[in-house]
Amino acid sequence: MAVELAVIFFSMILVDNYVLVQFLGICPFLGVSKRLDSAVGMSLAVTFVMVMATAATWPIQTFLLTPANPDGSLKWDMGYLQTIVFILIIAILVQLLESILKKYIPALYKALGVYLPLITTNCTILGVTVLNIDNGYDFLESIICAAGAGIGYLVAMVLFSGVRRRVEQAVTPKCFKDLPITLVAAAMVSLSFMGFGGIVESIFGV
Amino acid sequence: MSKNSKWKIFTNGFLAENPVLVLVLGTCPTLATSTMASNGIGMGLAATFVLVCSNIVISALRKVIPNQVRIPCYITVIAGFVSVVQMLVKAFVPALDSALGVYLPLIVVNCIILGRAEMFASKNGVLDSALDGLGMGIGFMITLTIMGTIREVLGSGTWMSGLDGLFPFLPEGFAIQVLPESVDPFTIMTSAPGGFFIFGVMMAAATWLTTRPKKEKASAPAEAAEGGNA
């Protein structure tokens, strides 16, 4: 059991990295990775909301939208409401978190503050909640998967903010200035992540 | 004159304000679904439908929706249309459903749609908003298709494979062989790094195209693109 969870966790960070391999959350990746501190702040906020959102949406999907009888058949199927319900839950959750943090943990609010409202439309959050359901993970696996995805996001952001500092000082053709050359650099970082393919399975001997 | 400006609203999304290459919105679906030209067309059609419908509804409701809660309202409207698209695609083009996977529900958080709702539909009339949505959607689809074409031709040597899933009248296993079989395809182009690379090159090409005639303003669009990606 622990090995399976570890495999999910580390695959999400290295092999199935959301930003560099699965193309989720590219907008904030390009927008916020200019400076290291904002990259870290955004990734921490994303990780936090991801785990919270998974903890909220998994029970709703399992017990409200598609509850199963003991023999495996569905009591009723409202799976078609998934998209609307999930995005509303995420939007509410982000608002709620913002007010709670503001009131009780002002230090964390200050650190995450600006990034929280942006998170509602970050596709990683909706992506991780939907993918957890699609993959048929149980509750614990879903939480671990969400945490791994968040840490993977952090790793990618931190690595890339370093790459970007160097790229910005490089001399590039005029039309490649700014974003185009950043994307080419992202291609190389993503290429290096491809090298992790299969590493988790061989480490844990699965 | 008014007809002229309507035309301008419509064509704005093609190149001058291309949502992907100039405004830098909706990058995630662009990269993820442009592995094949036919996926690009499918994704573009789905997004265009949602974009036009949500732009119409939001622009019709723009005086009713209170300013403070506008974003949740927009998202609810968009999510409703995305669910409609999801059900239609699942029922009529199941091949596209499995090709797009999680990116189909993720149209909800596609920043092009929310971005146009916020930037355009909330300030303009119903007809203008519908035209803007249509133009932006077509611009998105063209970009996806071009990108998908480059990646598919280089990455697997074929063009438009999988189009039979989208249009059932085509023969099964439809594909146009572009590179001869004896040429080893560049498989890296269909995976993640190729996506980033081609996207970067296309964005550079768009910058070059839009800035080339008036060289003295060459740096302006780059700054505009920078502002759009928040």
Q: What is d(CA A166, CA A143) in angstroms, rounded to the nearest whole number?
A: 35
Out of B106, B200, B204, the one facing A123 most closely (by C-beta) is B106
pLDDT reported for residue B213? 65
Is the minimum CB–CB distance between A87 and chain B shorter than 8 Å? yes
Is the minimum CB–CB distance between A38 and chain B shorter than 8 Å? no
In sequence order, the β-bridge partners of residue B176 are B159
CA distances to A11, A71, B132, B169 from A146, rounded to whole Å, are 12, 29, 37, 42
* CA nearest to A192 within chain B: B193
ipTM: 0.81
Is the minimum CB–CB distance between B106 and chain A shorter than 8 Å? yes
Which positions in chain B touch A176 (Cβ < 8 Å)? Answer: 200, 204
Chain B from 190 to 229: CB within 8 A of any A CB: 191-197, 199-201, 203-205, 207-208, 211, 218-219, 222, 225-226, 229
- Predicted confidence (pLDDT) per residue in A115-173, tens digit: 777 777 778 888 889 888 888 888 999 999 999 999 999 999 898 888 888 888 888 88
Is the minimum CB–CB distance between B112 and chain A shorter than 8 Å? no
Q: What is the CA radius of gyration of chain B?
A: 18
- Predicted confidence (pLDDT) per residue in B170-219, tens digit: 777 777 787 777 777 787 888 888 888 988 888 888 888 877 765 554 44
* pLDDT reading at B160 higher than 80: no
Residue identified by tokens 């932006």 is B136
The distance in angstroms from the start CA to the end CA of chain B is 34
Run of H or E including B159 = strand B158-159
In this prediction, residue B57 has a pLDDT band, given cuts at 50, 70 and 90, of very high
For chain B, the average pLDDT equals: 81
CB contact under 8 A, B106 and A127: yes
pLDDT reported for residue B221? 46
In this prediction, residue B59 has a pLDDT band, given cuts at 50, 70 and 90, of very high
pLDDT reported for residue A113? 62
The average pLDDT across B134-154 equals 89
Helices (H), chain A: 2-10, 26-32, 36-59, 82-104, 106-112, 116-119, 123-134, 139-169, 179-194, 199-204
Percent of chain B topping pLDDT 90: 12
pLDDT reported for residue B34? 84
Q: Are B126 and B133 in contact (CB under 8 A)?
A: no
A19-28, A122-131, A192-201, B217-226: range with highest mean pLDDT: A122-131
pLDDT reported for residue A178? 80
CB contact under 8 A, A183 and B105: no
Which positions in chain A touch B27 (Cβ < 8 Å)? Answer: 26-27, 30
pLDDT reported for residue B184? 79
| Residue B105 region by backbone torsions, left for phi larger than 0, else alpha for psi between -120 and 50, else beta | alpha
CB contact under 8 A, A186 and B211: no
Chain B interface, best mutation among A61, A82, A179, A191, by max B CB count within 10 A: A179
Is the minimum CB–CB distance between B20 and chain A shorter than 8 Å? no
pLDDT reported for residue B225? 43
* pLDDT reading at A112 higher than 90: no
Run of H or E including B177 = strand B176-177
In sequence order, the β-bridge partners of residue A74 are A68
Burial class (CB in 10 A: 0-12, 13-18, 19+), A149: buried
Which positions in chain B touch A173 (Cβ < 8 Å)? Answer: 204
Burial class (CB in 10 A: 0-12, 13-18, 19+), B6: middle
- Predicted confidence (pLDDT) per residue in B14-49, tens digit: 777 788 888 788 888 888 888 888 888 888 999 999
* pLDDT reading at B136 higher than 50: yes
pLDDT reported for residue B2? 61
* pLDDT reading at A20 higher than 80: yes
Least confident of A92-106, A126-140, B93-107, B208-222: B208-222
* pLDDT reading at B230 higher than 70: no
